[in-house]
Every structure is written in structure tokens, then in C-alpha cells.
Structure 1
Amino acid sequence: MRSRVQCVVAVASLCILMASSDARAGLPVSSSNCDGDAGCWVILSVPQYAQENTLWCHAAAAQSIVNAYSAARTQCTCYQSNTGASCSTNQISYVSNVENTIWTLSGADGIIVNDYMSWSTTWDQLYNRHIPMVARVLKNNGSYGHFIVIKGVDDDASADWVRVWDPEFGGSASWVDFSTLVSAGGTYQWTHSIYNFQ
């Protein structure tokens, strides 16, 4: 984790500095409810952007998190930061580049895990702390790598669900069964995570 410096006391032009690793305040909630035995759910206010080119899912996912935490950035800016290439190109990117772009453009520093997150961690991040996640997935039975944003959770009595924003094909938000998301052979298979933005 990158060390942050925070001004804690300002006297005239003197600023006393100290390192800070405190978590950011959670994002605003778009909607939530708790139905007792039927379960609780929350959807965070994370902007949703469709990818602007066929391989720009990484840029769209980064743009969603960057713009949730800071001033508006274009998808082209996120793409250039992820790839180092001109916006007239169409390249893939990697989990580490996406995390670095989010940190560079918004100051929100995430942790990369080369795996999916457990349900308890996913619930804690989204429901308790109001922190979204970026997931790198294999899509359509493992045919290609893809980035999505997880912006909500629901512990319905029938199953555990995550609210997924998928930037591909114009973008769509849907509830996906957590057990399906982490297993092979479905629409998505969660392989890498960026979480705990601070």
C-alpha cells in the first residue's frame, strides 16, 4: 500500500505532516433495504460507463471508480493511463495498470488480489464500508478476459448476490449469483480483484 501524507495541523505557513493509512469514507448509497428474514441489500452510487472501444473494458472500469472518488475523467484519459498508448488505439490492459490508474487519477489506492474475494469480504466492503470493487473475470466460458465493477450486494434468503456493472456492449447492470460468479463455466468467472480503496 502506498503511504499517504496528510496535513493534520496548519499554523501560519507551517504544516505538521503525518502518515495516514485510514480508509476513505464510503461512497454514497444509491439504494438499500433490509427485509429482515428476506435479507439486506445495497447499491452504491458508482457511475456506469459503457466501454468506448471493443477492448476498453479496463478503461471503463477505471473511469467508474475514478469518477466515484474524484473529479470527472474521460475514458480516454483512463485508457492512456492504463496502456500508455494513444486513444486512437485499441489495446488490452492488466489488473496492476487499472489499479495504478485509479490511484493516479483519483488518489483511491486499492489492493490487488490474484483471486476472487470471499463472500464475507465482498459483503463487508460493499454493505458495511460502501467501497466498490473491480473484478477481472473470464467471460463467456473463459473465452476472454474482461473487467467489471461490483457496486452492490444482496444476501437474499435464496442466495448471495452481487450487483455487477458490465461495460461491454453498451453496458448493463444486473444481479449475479455470487456462487456463479466465482465458479467456472458461466457468463463470468471472477479471477482477480481490486478492493479496499483508501
Structure 2
Amino acid sequence: MNPTRQAPPWALAGVAAAAIAGTFAVGSVIWNIADQPDLPDMSDREVVRGELSRVGGMRPVLPVRLPAGYDIARDYNANTFDDDPDPMALDETTTKRASSWSVYFFPKEDVPEHELPVIVFCVQDPSSRDEICPEKSDASTLQRQFGKNHLAIYRVSEGSRDMTAWSTLELTTDLDKVTWLH
């Protein structure tokens, strides 16, 4: 006769604890995914206007129309002057002044990565002491002037090396003139 061997009581408690912990971990992941706020619609003119209003001073330079294969700018980054107030001391009425803006243009989702590169528009206030935007001019970087501000347009990924489509674009800082925002 084969006696049945029972697991010690502490082993059953360990299995139960592991099952509860696993259920809690999966539930936490699902809760966090469901709890994530929606990303802002960066094709909406008023959403972009709100994002840009967080920083004072100069505005980013944008193309009025985009070359074929691109749809919207997906990322707007400002650098601020060092002598402006500490960001921790800012309230709703105080903003830092931008010394530069970098705006990233990605190819449309249906365009293969190897065909079109990610393009950055980097505009810099001439009174800024730091070199933030590239100053070289070569096959991957175009230099333009917009008013008193220096503008560098450059590739930051693989893709077509031809920058001709970006060299002749009409530029603006007025969001109301930008055709790819609605």
C-alpha cells in the first residue's frame, strides 16, 4: 500500500501567497494601463498653443506646410535662460523665457523608417550664451535665419539624406498659419 503524502501546511500557505501576489501584480499592471491619461493630440492647434504657453519668450519656428510623408510635429522642447527664476518657484503667472526650441517631425506611421528621417527644427535666440542648435552646415544640417533668430534644420535618424524639401519651406511662428494643425 502506498501512503499518500500530504504537503506540510506551510507549503500550502506559500502557494496561496504566491497566487495572491501574482493576481495583485497582474491587477496592478491592468489598473496602471487603464489609469494612464490620454496623450495630448499634437495635431490640435489649441493643444499645441497650450503646450507652448508654458514657456515665455521666443516661439518655435514651424513650417507652414510639411513635406510629403510627414504629418505633424510630435515633440516641442524648450531650453530656458539660466538667469531666469528657479522652476520650483514658478506659479501659474510666472514662466521661464525660452532661449531655444527644438521641434521634432516624424514620418507618417505608414512610411518605412529607412525612407524618411526624423527632422528637428532648432531655433535659438541670438542672446543665448550657450550653443544649443548646431551651427555647421552640411548634407544633414540646413542653416536658415528667421528674423533675428538662428534656425538649424537637421536629421536625427537614418533615412533619405536629401534635405531639399526642407530648405525652401515657408516658415512661421504663428500657429494660425500652420496648415498641418487643425
What band does the TM-score fall into relative to the shorter chain?
under 0.3
Higher strand share: 1
Scaled by the length of structure 2, what TM-score is found?
0.26
Q: Which has the larger radius of gyration?
A: 2
Scaled by the length of structure 1, what TM-score is found?
0.25
